[in-house]
Amino acid sequence: MATTAGNLSAAVQAELRGDGERIVRAAASIDTAGPEEITFIADDSNLKKLQHCDGGTVIVSRHLAVSLDIESAERTFLIVDDAHDTFVHVLRQLHPPRRRPKLGVSPEAFVAETAQIGSDTNIYPRAYVADDVVIGHNCDVLPGAYIGPGCRIGDDVKIHPNAVLYADVIVGDRVAIDACAVIGSDGFGYRLVDGCHEPIPQVGTVRIEADVEIGAATTVDRAMLGETVVGRGSKIDNLVTIAHNCRLGKHNVLVSQVGLAGSVTTGDYVVCAGQVGIADHVHIGEGAVLAAKAGVFRNMAGGQTYIGIPALPEAEARRVVTAQIKLPEMRKQVRELQARVKELTARLDADVTERSKAAA
């Protein structure tokens, strides 16, 4: 969607410096932006990259603009209080969402007679909606999606291709479930009987609260009893596993390849970076941040950042890492000390022997 720097400046209420008629066709990073693309500078590191940038239009935070020779530059600047925030608004201007079609229920979809479908909801070809399902208004169920018996889905929900909702899953308003996600499969629960692993019945369900996003190929297991809950506003990345009876607080962020064992609970605004693993029945306090690959085996208090395996508070973990780095040097010093002690002990023994002889 082509526009001009002047139009964008007016749309985001920026201070315009330079040619307002400059064409802007797309947005790009400062490393790749071309003459008809817009980029942004929000920190000192990107400020240093500007001299090598070909971007014709640049959004810059006001506190950084004083470091630039804006008047003589051969580009257009949009000066704002927060360049990153403004860039997000510009992205929406340049790349508006595609218009949502109004397809209704496709004759190539299977929709059970007992299912209830809200107004302005699209059921795409080859989607499957089972008995006693209730789907709200303005929803999209895309090709290949499966909605199991008894599911309850709110308004403005989007279920992407080949996503699977097992029976009786509850989904709140404005939820997005990406392709190949599986919600409500049996939890991984077994007991050993006569040398064999016997499955424990998983008779609970999953409740996804409003404004949640579930990434592609993520799995959320149903509870053994009660509910597995993903709290309101939480954002779950691709390839995440949330086991049975987990209960996530509001506005959690789980990055790719995070694994939560059974009955993990979290407070609000918890962040788990990539490949974090959390053992069963552990509680993570409100506002805690678990750094990438952290291994968590015990409860973690909120409001702190944790690092490592086993996960430790950041300051303590850094001391441990520093000590580990010094281990080869310390090992060498210990060997030298052992050799010195051995030498001194030998001298002492020899001295004692000589004195004994002299006394005799």
In the chain, domain spans: 3-94, 110-316, 326-360
- What pLDDT is recorded for position 72? 67
Return the DSSP state at 100: P
Backbone phi, psi, residue 88, to 5°: -60, -40
Entry pTM: 0.85
pLDDT at residue 61, as a whole number: 93
d(CA 2, CA 87): 16
The SS3 call for residue 45 is: helix
* Nearest alpha-carbon partner for 205 in 257, 251, 150, 158: 150
CATH superfamily of 3-94: MurE/MurF, N-terminal domain (3.40.1390.10)
Tell me how far apart the alpha carbons of residues 227 and 42 are, in angstroms, rounded to a whole number. Answer: 43
Note if 244 is an active site residue.
yes
**Pairing status of strand 140-141 against strand 158-159:** parallel
215 CB-contact burial (10 Å; exposed 0-12 / middle 13-18 / buried 19+): buried
CA atoms lying within 13 Å on the CB side of residue 219: 15
276 and 294 in contact (C-beta within 8 Å)?
Answer: yes
What homologous superfamily is domain 110-316 in, according to CATH?
Hexapeptide repeat proteins (2.160.10.10)
Adjacency order of strands within the sheet including 164-165: 110-111, 128-129, 146-147, 164-165, 182-185, 219-221, 241-242, 259-260, 277-278, 295-296
Q: Name the active-site residue from 89, 244, 251, 283.
A: 244
pLDDT score at 74 = 83
Query: Which residues are registered as beta bridge partners of 253?
Result: 235, 271
Mean pLDDT, consecutive 10-residue stretches, the chain (360 aa), reads 92 93 94 95 87 92 85 86 95 90 95 98 98 98 98 98 98 98 96 95 97 98 97 98 98 98 98 98 98 96 95 88 84 91 90 80
* CB-CB contact of 112 with 127 (8 Å): no
Structure tokens at 323: 């000590």
Instruction: Give the pLDDT confidence score for residue 360 in this predicted structure.
Output: 67
